[in-house]
Amino acid sequence: MKQETFPLSNKELPLKFRPILEHARFRIMQSGIRTFTIEKLASDLKVSKKTIYKILPSKEEFVEAVLLYHFEELFSKVQQLPDHPEDPLRYISLTLNIILRQISLMTAATMYEIKLYYPQVWRQIEDFQAGVVKNLLNGFKQARQMGLIRKELKLDFVTGLIMRIVQSVFQPEFFINYSYTISEMVRMFIDLIMNGMMESGCHFDIRAIAGGSD
C-alpha cells in the first residue's frame, strides 16, 4: 500500500505536507522563530494559509511540528547506528558527524528560542544529548580495551565531567556570547575531549568527521 502519511511523535501528517515542513525548517533554523510567519511561508510556497492551518491550526503547533521534524530526523539517524560497533572510533566518528551536520543548520539565536518558547522540545533534546554522551563513552571504554584510550583515565569520572560540561556550558546562552558558530564550538569541544583522552601516539582527527575545515 502506498504510504500517504509520515509519523511525527504522536501525530500522523500527510506526505504532501513534508515539503512545507522542509521549507519552514530552513527559515526557522536560519532566521529564528519570532520572525517566522505562516503568511510569509504560504506566500513563498504559493499555497493557501488555510491549507496549512487545516493540518496544524496555530503558529505554535506548526513551529513545534517543524522542530520535532528536525530533531526526530537527527534522533533517527543516530539510532540507526549499530549498538555494539566493532570499530568504536568509527562509531564515535559517525555519531559526531551526524550531530555536527544537524547542529550546523541552526543559529545560536534559534537554539535559544527553542529553549525559551518550546521547553517540551528542549527536554527531548537534553534527553537525547545525555543518551548520546553515554553511548559515546561506551565507545571510549571499548577503544581503551583496544589500546587507543589512556589507561589512567577513570572513565566514570570522565563521563560525569563531559555530561556536566554538555549540560552546563553547551546552552544557547553560552553560544550567543561568542563569535564562533555552533558547529565550530562543538568541533572544538570534541577535539579537546577526544585528543585529551587518546593514548600516546594516537590521534583523533576532528576534520575527518566534520567534512574538513571550513
Condensed to tens digits (0 to 9), the pLDDT of residues 30-64 reads 889 999 999 999 999 999 999 999 999 999 999 99
Most confident of 128-137, 161-170, 171-180: 128-137
Q: Tens of pLDDT along 56-113?
A: 999 999 999 999 999 988 888 888 887 666 888 778 878 877 887 777 778 878 888 9
CA-to-CA distance for 165 and 190, rounded, in angstroms? Answer: 12
DSSP 8-state class, residue 130: H
Q: How many other C-beta atoms are found inside a 10 Å radius of the C-beta of residue 23?
A: 14
